[in-house]
Chain A
């Protein structure tokens, strides 16, 4: 875990040119967001996680469900 964190930090802090705030117009687009709207994101999570063994990855504290 510590080696992963160090590798990620190193990769993120070196070799990447800093992008100034005025250059981030494209990054603020709706299609550049990591999640769709909260309602759609929740619906998609429900659809797949109820049938798959795998879950999680993006957040914590979401609680569980019966999902029988």
Chain B
């Protein structure tokens, strides 16, 4: 399954006082699934202000992926199970992005560009944005438009050259509620057309009688999505800490409905240390065409047994610690655990064939203002 990776630094205002300091940083992600994939991702990023009206942000990253991947869902044993690839795969993705913003008093316009290349997938995207601050900059309205043109290939099939094009639209508002709290709410709508099939996923179905059926992953040639993200921050001066709550509602025309809720408390210890425990909960329904097995022949025109399209839920606790040195250098480390299972789906009734995913991740970053 492909997923549009939102560019974090192209988001609408990340904080009330827009980034005015120049800053450069380096981050490394290490991610490991139990028995499956391992990912390492170094990221170099920088942002700065030029002549007080221009803001520039840029980043570059490399994803190094290795390990086994669920490739075939088969019920040869009597019930559908995921069979992983026999050989360990290695893949690499190079990505870079840049964004330029020009401020005109309470108004700002921005443009961004993202490129991403893998052996079997290439993406080129751009974004345009506008912000308008009013009410003494207590309210910021944002609008955005993005377009990506992707090319899909396959390591296993050199003749596969398909395209996928997506248009995105964003509307958002950031509102200062009081000297201690602030809320941001954004809606993003995406319209995608093109190739969505996963070229590496298969469904191998055995029947009580007759010939077993081997099907390639086949999905609709369109995907329209809506994501509504609301984020709330409140500081408690007496406790020297802040509450952070994020909620996202997602739906698409594949029949998937999903909810994401994360709550965190960031505790400061003096001027330099902070520790942030957090808990993230995710739940989704299955796509209309998701099935771990095929009905008897003739097979449906559209079917995918990719369990990422099934019904399941996930809990992910994490903890982050940060330290800021006297001259501004900041070091940050995050440890997280991911536990995705069918019985964690809100309301129960997760997909029967969903196999529990357990993973740990660590993120270490250093940044320096200049």
Contacts and interface: CB of A to CB of B under 8 A. Distances in A.
B146 to A, nearest CB: 3
A24 B17 contact: yes
Contacts of B43: 38-39, 42-43
A61 B125 contact: yes
Contacts of B309: 53
Contacts of A24: 16-17, 176, 179
Interface in B222-263: 225, 227-229, 231, 233, 235, 237, 241-242, 244, 248, 250, 252, 254, 256, 258, 260
Interface string B116-158: 1010110111111100001111110100111110101000000
Contacts of A68: 1, 69, 91, 120, 198-201
B16 A58 contact: no
B7 interface: yes
Nearest to A35: B14
A34 B14 contact: yes
Given A19-B179, A39-B59, A57-B250, A62 B227 contact: no
Q: Looking at A5, A49, A59, A61, which has the most chain B CB atoms within 10 Å of its CB?
A: A61
Contacts of B146: 59-62
A56 to B, nearest CB: 4
A42 B175 contact: no
A56 B226 CA distance: 9
A16 B177 contact: yes
B162 to A, nearest CB: 12
A32 B334 CA distance: 18
Given A27-B15, A34-B231, A52-B258, A47 B338 contact: yes
Contacts of B200: 68
Contacts, number: 323
Given A24-B176, A54-B227, A54-B258, A67 B1 contact: yes
B193 interface: no
A58 B6 contact: yes
Interface bracket on B: 35 or more
A63 B125 contact: yes
Contact of B136 (A8, A12, A18, A50): A18
Interface of B: 1-17, 25-27, 29, 31, 39, 41, 43-45, 47, 57, 59, 61, 63, 69, 91, 93, 95, 97, 112-116, 118, 120-121, 123-129, 134-139, 141, 144-148, 150, 152, 164, 166, 168-171, 173, 175-180, 182, 184-188, 190, 198-201, 225, 227-229, 231, 233, 235, 237, 241-242, 244, 248, 250, 252, 254, 256, 258, 260, 266, 268, 274, 276, 280, 282, 284, 287, 308-309, 314, 316, 320, 322, 324, 330, 332, 334, 336, 338, 340, 357, 361, 363, 365, 367
Given A43-B43, A53-B1, A58-B8, 20 more contacts: A19-B138, A25-B179, A27-B17, A32-B242, A34-B13, A34-B15, A36-B320, A51-B357, A53-B252, A53-B256, A53-B309, A54-B258, A55-B3, A55-B4, A56-B6, A61-B128, A61-B148, A64-B148, A65-B5, A68-B198
Q: Which 4 A-B pairs have the closest CB atoms?
A: A61-B127, A39-B27, A61-B146, A60-B146
